[in-house]
């Protein structure tokens, strides 16, 4: 069974830079996993941030960027703002139409 790993929590100061990662329990993440990233605030539906590793969804500020760093997918927030305080989830396409979410990272901006 494929497990997608994310840091459970992270904190960043306003204006700072943070990189969240998305890995696989076995093996490396590559562009063939089509990593995508989602932001969710309590009580709200998720919002799509990044797809195809590094393409920003419409309306997403350019302080959000996606990449592959080493053997993981990464979401970098440059110049964090207070309203970036949210949960962040990655999704990897793993096989034959199956996708798997990571457990999510709770980002605190303080």
For other proteins, the binding residues (CB under 8 A) are: 1, 34, 36, 38, 40, 45-48, 51-53, 55, 57, 87, 89, 91, 93, 96-104
Identify which of residues 13 and 100 has a Cβ nearer to other proteins in the complex: 100
Could you say which DSSP state residue 14 is in? T
Cβ pair 75, 20 in contact under 8 A: yes
Q: Identify which of residues 14 and 58 has a Cβ nearer to other proteins in the complex.
A: 58
We find the least distance from the C-beta atom of residue 104 to other proteins, in angstroms, to be 4
Spell out a b/e string for 17-52, using b for 16 or more CB atoms within 10 Å of the CB, else e: ebbbbbbbeeeebeeebebbbbbeeeeeebeebbbe
Judged by beta carbon, residue 59 or residue 82, the one nearer other proteins is 59
């Amino acid at each position: 069974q494929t497990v997608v790993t994310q840091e459970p929590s992270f904190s960043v100061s306003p204006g700072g830079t943070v990189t969240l990662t998305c890995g696989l329990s076995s093996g490396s993440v590559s562009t063939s996993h089509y990593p995508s990233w989602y932001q969710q605030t309590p009580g709200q539906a998720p919002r799509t941030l990044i797809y195809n590793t590094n393409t920003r969804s419409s309306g997403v500020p350019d302080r959000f960027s996606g990449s592959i760093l080493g053997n993981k997918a990464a979401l970098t927030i440059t110049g964090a703002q207070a309203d970036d305080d949210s949960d962040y989830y990655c999704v990897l396409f793993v096989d034959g139409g199956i996708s798997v979410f990571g457990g999510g990272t709770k980002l605190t901006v303080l």
